[in-house]
Structure 1
């Protein structure tokens, strides 16, 4: 449906965020100018930025992956001894086999946003004595006692989604679209499912589960190792399309079953394999076969299995539990309902003493609820017009729930704890910025992964009260740090708020150019994403800001505003976009430009907009629907016709195209092509399997048919994320050149 928004700006008030309060501030360090060639070269400007942080189950070791100084994309496994604070390499990735990934694993990593070589994943054994490490389709078992790593026998197939069983007796993995079991005591290999292949995928998450639901696995171990739950996916209902992946040396034709909006999804079954018998019991999922299975989780007793059942329109979400040893139908414990949509999360936690924790947005904001075993709410633990991010840890013995949230600021994520009765809500983190906590299973310590606009990611060890015990990686920007020689020119933004027409608060951040002179006028680049769940206006370190910093040194200001529809501001803020995209979003971005026009140092004739993915879509819609606001636009890998995008994402926001054809039409870029005059650059990866290249070619053809001049850059072999130093360097050189030429014309 079409909505009309009247512009009104009621306030534009910068506020303080500690060191991120003023653009007059920079970091301490040298004043060497950035170059595009340096932005994504090795070593990373962020310095030593650990990833895949874990604590051993006993809390004795912190482990993490670190990219090498000479190759930031090649990762080794490192450790810190908690008692001594000593940091050392645990395993050199060069000792493992490095080779070509299977197409399935490449796609899986693309969904996980995992990029690089060396060790990319690892898992602790439950007893803390060993690690499982996958590499190039092979599996390695590393024992800490002797420091030895051995190659596990996994057969001829490419092993993916490998897991250690909860008690450490087995390793499971998927190969050839079937589930396999390896007994570590005798290296016996057992094939647990037999019918995988072709359209049948056992123990594998389907495309939309990986890409849109955040579910990367298709099987789940019972805590006592007595059984494995798994999903069986039948892709035959999904239309098979031929997708072209264009590389520099040829074209790869890929047959893909892609569930476009309004078309059929996979058929999915949920089964339980009893061990050691290997008998399979199928769970009753109901008569409706057009549904989603976003989450599966065992209860602590290993007898009951929970699963979340989501309706096709995503307005119903049930938490159901079934006794796998009986013939009884599943019981619905929680029935979430919303006449727009329901967001998924990973916060379900079953308590050993009975009952469970669950987060819900039923109040309009995401909060934590305690449920009895029968599904009745016994306590709401958090309250207010602010959002919980996620449950980080549950300490049943001491009666605390640890979680991250936005209680103190919408643009920061802090760590808190609260008692089971909702009392004693306490903030543990102290620094302004973004905190992510990783807790040990059996000891009251946690790793705090922290970053801010003025601090690249650092990792510290803390006790249960939040006291810092040791640095794992302080990552201080001082002489010798990769950022230090550039830090003196590193600009910090001003934060502020505007008020939307419906009264809701819009957050922005504004970066002023280096050597800012209030008596001059500057061009502005509006960097936008604007899509659901995402948040750009945060006090956080991001490699995406490297290009921002480069532009600031070229005399271009950068502005970012989180329009309605984006995440972490409550359902009312997010759900305004339902059934018609790029209405409220574009109106809010226009509002941001209206604010910029009030600033005497902004050249109102030189305002450009740039975004990638949903941001690329937003850049096009801003340019086409508000050409007098945005003189120049750069659109990267945009969705341009939502009928080309997948079911789960698209139908959540636009509904089914059979029920909302006009909403789909008006949310497409194509009806607005006629308003375009000049000043557009588009780019796209030619092997993009997320936002298909066809999205851009449809716009290319429409503009060409209209005789409109524009520029395009297409990258052979590039996927949606445009990863790789060479691709990024060429891309940002091209964007800089385009902006400079366009601003000269205005």
Structure 2
């Protein structure tokens, strides 16, 4: 086990993300699969590939691209950063993509598949061919433009009226919080586009600058912090000839039942969020949500007048949650919509609900009337499922009493898929499977494996060996990493908690992801490393996710402490509860800082990276969902803030625990002001602490020379703070 070399490998591979195939597109006939993948597990240049007839073929991405290039390191590859975004026409015969800001196209079939650069000025964003491939729509400088596939007749369809207006680009909330990365959509006949117009003039302007580079001017960012104005998003139908029709989106939703809000309850019925949009047949379908997130309407748009009519309305006393991929309509028009069944986030396909207890994660698509989705029966596993209106024995074994629902994956892990093909020849399913043993991508046609797409990631120098745990009265899922050299009865180890624990993702699963490898690396240096997914994390049901409403910190921290004590009781004598550290980034950085400030009786040291120390200074969509509006519900923000705690503890005899705060100075997700304000409060309260600024770094720390150095700095910090020595030096050298 090469512990010393691991941090460099971790950084060089960008958290083992290089070489992973992604962004799959299945052709309508199911015969071809387009995807992107970097050159290798250590070369970040992104290339566009096609999988066809059991083999991969390079399409585009580097100097010297040529038709028929073979798979392999360096085949057809030259200098350059590779491709950015790509999209295809209806038949996946023409792909448009960006490379270094320029617009390129490539034919995916036929004799001449040489990439062509179209002579339009850059930088180009989000190029998308029309359904027949004869036109390419794209965004430049906030204007939506269209050009012929031969590079002629480049023209603007919509140009911004001011510097604060864009056409065809999502705003910050849509991109970072809602997950909607698109902002224009072609009509099926290619004669018009549905286009989002975003006005950010009312949104607060913040600035991001790097003190390490004072010659570089700060960058202005429109950031909608909790309780402040959001961007205004409207929709237009624009023909390729330039005619415009505004979409008459509703402004506000009526109070549920017509009753006023209860005292102390924040209500805001303005439809400020565009969740989804696309064309369903000849008409667009759009999904909008109110500012308080308690109401969602799915609307069909009349393409000739812009008038809308509701297809469905959804309300909830907490918030309405639409899983990715919904709403969806099958070939016959059957709607696939979210549906809460008992305590499970499920879906309803027409009148048919998903099986009881099944937690639906995402809807993947439909081929004819067959609907594909991902769901969990056990929170640590996610599987691919399908629904067929009439049971088909050849589709696979059903799970549960309803034979129309079939689970397509069986190996424990985290699985997802991209689907396509046609109903007559059967679906083509690209299964993307992460298990403890491997990461594989399998192409399945007609229910049978047809081959694999290569995953080129490097094998980690450290092999994780987590022990799965179910902990405490709430049965929190956890994993414990012990050193491979540790023998039972050898004495207690210092403990290091390494959670995420936020509502955005799980880290306790059977995926064998990079964070599991990092936890094992810390364990090999002499720590018992524990990770726990407590309340608020996805995959455990409605009540579990809503338990953090009104308080983002206390329930999450309580679950970590309960799980820590339960683990120590189970492994009697192995965990030293007088030496407990916690580390984290983003939400878990907030949790780590909160742990040593609120519960220094339990936690003895923390590394807090990019923590949100004041929830009022994070974005509207995430914070108002759980805490409401800060003007009407200030108590939730006060309970969830880290800033009052340093002064509360000053002079009371509460232990002062070592705390290392880390922040990228170019972070425009969690701005550095969070760490700076907490540091100022700690300083004023007389509490020693350390601050590690990362120049030239944003929210994601992946650069070689920074990501590896940060791991080593954390290790040194915890070794000193917790007096962790690990294996004797001579014994380590012998390995």
Structure 1 pair 743/499, CA: closer, same or farther in 2 (3 Å)? closer
Aligned to 2:380: 411
Aligned to 2:732: none
* Contact 2:273–2:291 (Cα < 8 Å) also in 1: no
The 2-side partners of 1:55 and 1:333 are apart by 29
Three-state SS of the structure 2 residue aligned to 1:700 is helix
The 1-side partners of 2:210 and 2:586 are apart by 18
Aligned with residue 697 of structure 2, among 709, 712, 718: 718
* Contact 2:174–2:275 (Cα < 8 Å) also in 1: no
Structure 1 pair 322/78, CA: closer, same or farther in 2 (3 Å)? closer
Aligned with residue 436 of structure 2, among 453, 463, 472: 453
Provide, for residues 518-537 of structure 1, a one-character-per-residue CA deviation record: whole Å limited to 9, x for no partner: 11221121111111131111
- Counterparts of 1:596-675 in structure 2 under 5 Å? 596-598=567-569, 599=571, 600-674=573-647, 675=649
* Contact 1:307–1:320 (Cα < 8 Å) also in 2: yes
* Contact 1:461–1:472 (Cα < 8 Å) also in 2: yes
Provide, for residues 404-443 of structure 1, a one-character-per-residue CA deviation record: whole Å limited to 9, x for no partner: 1112x21111112222366432211122111111123446
* Cα deviation, residue 633, structure 1: 0.8
The 2-side partners of 1:712 and 1:740 are apart by 18
Structure 1 pair 274/68, CA: closer, same or farther in 2 (3 Å)? closer
Aligned to 1:306: 285
- Counterparts of 1:170-569 in structure 2 under 5 Å? 170-184=135-149, 187-248=152-213, 250=215, 252-276=217-241, 278-288=242-252, 290-302=270-282, 304-326=283-305, 329-345=307-323, 346-361=325-340, 363-371=342-350, 378-380=351-353, 382-396=354-368, 399-407=369-377, 409-420=378-389, 423-442=403-422, 444-455=427-438, 457-465=439-447, 467-473=448-454, 482-483=458-459, 486=461, 490-500=463-473, 504-520=474-490, 521-569=492-540
* Contact 1:267–1:290 (Cα < 8 Å) also in 2: no
Provide, for residues 122-149 of structure 1, a one-character-per-residue CA deviation record: whole Å limited to 9, x for no partner: 2233223222121122111112321211
Provide, for residues 624-674 of structure 1, a one-character-per-residue CA deviation record: whole Å limited to 9, x for no partner: 111111111110000000111111111111100011111111210011114
Structure 1 pair 167/361, CA: closer, same or farther in 2 (3 Å)? farther
Provide, for residues 696-735 of structure 1, a one-character-per-residue CA deviation record: whole Å limited to 9, x for no partner: 0011111111222112211011101112121101111100
The 1-side partners of 2:15 and 2:270 are apart by 46
CA RMSD of the aligned region, Å? 2.4
- Counterparts of 1:673-692 in structure 2 under 5 Å? 673-674=646-647, 675=649, 677-692=656-671
Aligned with residue 124 of structure 1, among 88, 100, 104: 88
Three-state SS of the structure 1 residue aligned to 2:723 is helix
The 1-side partners of 2:12 and 2:630 are apart by 44
* Cα deviation, residue 737, structure 1: 0.7
The 2-side partners of 1:617 and 1:45 are apart by 25
Aligned with residue 153 of structure 1, among 99, 119, 124: 119
Structure 1 pair 44/310, CA: closer, same or farther in 2 (3 Å)? closer
Tell me: higher relative CO, structure 1 or 2? Use CA pairs within 8 A at least 6 residues apart.
1
* Contact 1:453–1:492 (Cα < 8 Å) also in 2: no
Aligned to 2:76: none
Three-state SS of the structure 2 residue aligned to 1:656 is coil
Three-state SS of the structure 2 residue aligned to 1:590 is helix
* Cα deviation, residue 602, structure 1: 0.8
Aligned with residue 576 of structure 1, among 547, 550, 573: 547
Aligned to 1:89: 58
Three-state SS of the structure 1 residue aligned to 2:562 is helix
User: Structure 1: any 5+ residue segments left out of the alignment?
Assistant: 1-29, 97-115, 372-377, 476-480
* Cα deviation, residue 620, structure 1: 1.2
Three-state SS of the structure 2 residue aligned to 1:366 is strand
Provide, for residues 188-207 of structure 1, a one-character-per-residue CA deviation record: whole Å limited to 9, x for no partner: 11210133441111222111
* Contact 1:65–1:120 (Cα < 8 Å) also in 2: no
Structure 1 pair 623/647, CA: closer, same or farther in 2 (3 Å)? same
The 2-side partners of 1:437 and 1:653 are apart by 31
Provide, for residues 541-590 of structure 1, a one-character-per-residue CA deviation record: whole Å limited to 9, x for no partner: 32223322221221212111111011111110000111221111111011
Structure 1 pair 60/640, CA: closer, same or farther in 2 (3 Å)? same
User: Structure 2: any 5+ residue segments left out of the alignment?
Assistant: 66-79, 253-268, 391-401, 650-654, 726-735
Normalising by the residue count of structure 2, what TM-score does the alignment of the two structures yield?
0.86
Aligned to 2:264: none
The 1-side partners of 2:214 and 2:446 are apart by 55
Q: How many residues are treated as equivalent by the alignment?
A: 669
Structure 1 pair 715/220, CA: closer, same or farther in 2 (3 Å)? same
* Cα deviation, residue 186, structure 1: 6.6
* Cα deviation, residue 460, structure 1: 1.4
Aligned to 1:727: 706
Aligned to 1:105: none
* Cα deviation, residue 348, structure 1: 1.7
* Cα deviation, residue 339, structure 1: 1.1
* Contact 1:213–1:344 (Cα < 8 Å) also in 2: no
* Cα deviation, residue 693, structure 1: 0.2
- Counterparts of 1:39-78 in structure 2 under 5 Å? 39-42=10-13, 48-69=19-40, 71-78=42-49
The 2-side partners of 1:710 and 1:32 are apart by 28
Three-state SS of the structure 1 residue aligned to 2:331 is coil
* Contact 1:567–1:574 (Cα < 8 Å) also in 2: yes
The 1-side partners of 2:514 and 2:125 are apart by 29
* Contact 2:284–2:303 (Cα < 8 Å) also in 1: yes
Structure 1 pair 32/282, CA: closer, same or farther in 2 (3 Å)? closer
Structure 1 pair 669/192, CA: closer, same or farther in 2 (3 Å)? same
